[in-house]
Amino acid sequence: MDGWPPGDEDDVTELAEKPAQAAGPGRGRCARALKDVRTANVRTIAVNRPLYPEPAKPAYGAAGQARQQQFATTVTQALQALVAAKTQGLPAPAKASDTDTLLDKVGDVAGMVAAGAGGPASSPGVDVVAAPAATPAGTTALTAHAIDMIGTDSHDDPNA
């Protein structure tokens, strides 16, 4: 397991079976709650799956479809209540580390320069001056952001 949140069922099981102190503050409780919710969801779906298609049969008409939607809403609300009950009192997730570094700022500025020079680089006459500025600025932006993402281990962060 590489970190939090757990990536798959094996990671959840590993965390749930560890003593709380070994898993880190709150992680053992969170993992057990996650495992309990997963188990309850699987059971709820297994019990209700055979009942779901029944009202949608053509013989029931529009009223059957309405009952099916109501049934789905009822099951969804039950699952939401279960999740709320299991997660109540758990610690909030840790705040993400600040990844606003000097390289990130350099990459941002270089990206703005590249964007500002890139537009005029497509205009005849101005391209002779703008293209030589846009190319290295874009390369600098890409390189600075890549090194920053590797250095801060944020390469898999969708917000990086």
Residues 6+ apart with CB under 8 A from 34: 6, 12, 16
Residue-level pLDDT at 34: 74
- pLDDT at site 21: 43
CA dist., res. 49 & res. 62, Å (int)? 20
Confidence of residue 23 (pLDDT cuts 50, 70, 90): very low
Global pTM exceeds 0.85: no
Q: Supply the pLDDT for residue 13.
A: 61
First to last CA, the chain: 22
Residue ranges per structural domain of the chain = 9-87, 102-151
pLDDT in tens, 101-154: 888 888 899 999 998 888 888 888 888 888 888 888 988 998 988 888 887 777
What pLDDT is stored for residue 86 in this prediction? 77
